[in-house]
Structures are given as structure tokens and as C-alpha cells.
């Protein structure tokens, strides 16, 4: 009788263990229901500018492939490009994507922060008379605020027409880096902001070039016509020598250090 009782107890224990395992799995206690972490296409570290520059030099193929897909007017979003960044609060991933949405119907950069659920559309604003700006907006096109300040930054003065293509890109990188520094706040370092700005502005340009023939907005038409940018000039810029890219990142970092606090 005792032997039979022990056998029943063992069966009950096994049954409860199996049921408990299933319930833990369904509830997420076992971790199986948690979303898989995003696989980064590019990893940036604030500690190694040479490594950052080396990785940035290899970006053109990946970014241009995603941008060229937007030549299909029926496509609302490109394949995302995930960037892992080191912050003062640890590692996180930013998701870069060219999109057409309510914020703007031309291919523009949308950056999402899966860690917080935040997102920002990077749009051109301003006018030909007052100069072109870079605006960070929500998905409805409303300009975002950070600590009470509108996230809109002076980008190009339309009176200046003598720059070479690389000068336009370098200026855009500085403004994009500043935008990230302010949008993400104190968690991001100037070094990471410079590298992320590099990716962002080159991606923004490639998105515009994908539909250049059909661009009708005056500020975008002016920018494309005046800058002389094309696919080859962007490729040359991205694939510069390692020393040149390191010098550019340092220049952007120094420039950020002298911007007024927001």
C-alpha cells in the first residue's frame, strides 16, 4: 500500500512540474515569450574612434540598397538598419528606416528607440527665403519638443551656393549629430552622436536621391540642384580614407562641444 502511495505521489509531482513548466512558458516567466533582441547591423562604441570610423567606411552598400528600394513609389518603408550604441546607461539599439508616412510623403529617415518606444521623423523644413531646417517630428508631422525646446535646427542658408558636395554632407552631419545629442539627452556622448549623425545624414540624402527626379518640394529641389550631390559623391564621402573620417568625427565632436546648451 505504501509503495502504491509513493508511486501516486511521484506521478502527481511529475504532473505538477509539467503543468508548472507550461504555465511559466506561457506567462513569460521562462523567457520564451520575450521578443528576441534586435540584431545590430552596425555597432558603435564611444571608446574606439578608429573602430567606429572603420565601420562607417563600409556603410554605403547597406544604406544605398535600402534607399534604392524606395524608388518604388508604392513602398512605404525600407528594410530597417539597426545601430547598436554605447550610452551612459548601457547598450541600446536604434532602428533606422526610410519611410513615407503622414509626417511626409517623400522618403525620409525615421528613427525608433525600441528600448523606450520613442521615435522621430527627420524632415526638411524652413523656406527658401529664411533657410532650410532639419525638424524632428512625430508620425503626424508635429515637431517634437525636448525640455520645452522645439527640435528644429538651422541647416542651410540658401544664400550660400559655393560649397562642394562634401561640404554639404559635413554640415548636415553636424546638425544631425546635434539633433541626436539633444533628442537622446545626457545618455549619449558626443563621440557616439557624431558617428550616428554620420549615418543619419548620409541616409537622408540617399533617400532623397532615390526619388530625385520626382521631387517637387521647393526646398528639396533647391537642395538637390544646388548641392550637386549624387550617388557617387555620397559613396566617395562615406568611403574616404580612415584618417579623413577620424578627423571628421573629431571635428564634429569639437563643434558639438561649442554649441549652446538646450
Tell me the average pLDDT across 63-80.
96
For 83-94, the pLDDT digits (tens) are 999 999 899 999
19 and 110 housed in the same domain: no
Q: Is residue 208 part of a domain?
A: yes
Q: Is the pLDDT of residue 3 over 60?
A: no
Residue 261: how many CA atoms within 13 Å on its side-chain side? 2
d(CA 134, CA 52): 25
Q: How confident is the model at residue 17 (pLDDT cuts 50, 70, 90)?
A: very low
- Inter-residue contact 249 to 195 (CB < 8 Å): yes
Q: Which tens digit of pLDDT belongs to each residue from 111-170?
A: 999 999 999 999 999 999 999 999 999 999 999 999 888 999 999 988 866 689 999 999
Question: Is residue 149 in a domain?
Answer: yes
**93 with 219, same domain?**
yes
65 and 7 within one domain: no
Same structural domain, 164 and 234: yes
**Sign of the C-alpha dihedral computed for residues 240, 245, 132 and 106 taken in this order:** positive
With respect to residue 150, please indicate whether it lies within any of the assigned structural domains.
yes
Q: What stretches of the chain show up as alpha helix (H) in DSSP? A: 2-27, 49-56, 60-69, 165-184, 190-210, 218-227, 231-238, 242-257
Whether 76 and 24 map to the same domain: the answer is no
Domain residues for the domain of 61 are 39-257
Q: Judge contact between 70 and 262, C-beta under 8 A.
A: no
Number of domains in the chain: 2
Q: Are residues 29 and 97 in the same domain?
A: no
CA distance 182 to 137: 14
Q: Give the model's pLDDT for residue 35.
A: 52
Mean pLDDT of 221-247: 96
Whether residues 220 and 104 share a domain: the answer is yes
Do 16 and 79 belong together in one domain?
A: no
Amino acid at each position: 500500500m505504501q509503495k502504491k502511495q509513493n508511486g501516486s505521489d511521484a506521478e502527481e509531482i511529475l504532473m505538477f512540474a509539467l503543468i508548472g513548466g507550461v504555465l511559466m512558458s506561457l506567462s513569460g516567466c521562462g523567457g520564451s515569450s520575450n521578443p528576441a533582441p534586435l540584431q545590430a547591423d552596425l555597432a558603435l562604441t564611444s571608446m574606439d574612434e578608429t573602430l567606429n570610423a572603420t565601420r562607417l567606411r563600409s556603410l554605403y552598400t547597406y544604406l544605398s540598397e535600402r534607399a534604392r528600394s524606395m524608388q518604388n513609389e508604392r513602398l512605404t518603408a525600407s528594410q530597417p538598419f539597426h545601430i547598436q550604441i554605447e550610452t551612459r546607461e548601457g547598450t541600446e539599439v536604434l532602428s533606422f528606416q526610410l519611410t513615407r508616412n503622414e509626417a511626409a510623403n517623400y522618403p525620409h529617415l525615421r528613427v525608433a528607440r525600441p528600448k523606450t518606444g520613442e521615435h522621430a521623423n527627420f524632415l526638411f523644413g524652413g523656406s527658401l527665403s529664411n533657410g532650410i531646417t532639419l525638424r524632428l517630428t512625430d508620425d503626424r508631422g508635429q515637431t517634437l519638443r525636448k525640455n520645452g525646446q522645439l527640435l528644429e535646427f538651422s541647416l542651410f542658408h540658401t544664400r550660400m551656393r559655393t560649397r562642394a558636395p562634401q561640404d554639404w554632407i559635413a554640415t548636415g552631419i553636424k546638425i544631425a549629430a546635434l539633433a541626436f545629442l539633444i533628442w537622446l539627452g545626457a545618455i549619449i556622448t558626443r563621440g557616439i552622436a557624431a558617428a550616428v549623425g554620420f549615418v543619419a545624414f548620409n541616409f537622408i540624402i540617399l533617400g532623397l536621391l532615390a526619388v530625385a527626379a520626382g521631387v517637387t518640394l521647393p526646398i528639396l529641389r533647391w537642395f538637390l540642384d544646388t548641392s550637386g550631390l549624387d550617388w557617387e559623391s555620397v559613396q566617395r564621402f562615406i568611403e574616404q580614407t580612415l584618417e579623413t573620417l577620424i578627423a571628421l568625427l573629431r571635428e564634429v565632436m569639437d563643434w558639438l562641444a561649442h554649441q549652446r546648451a538646450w
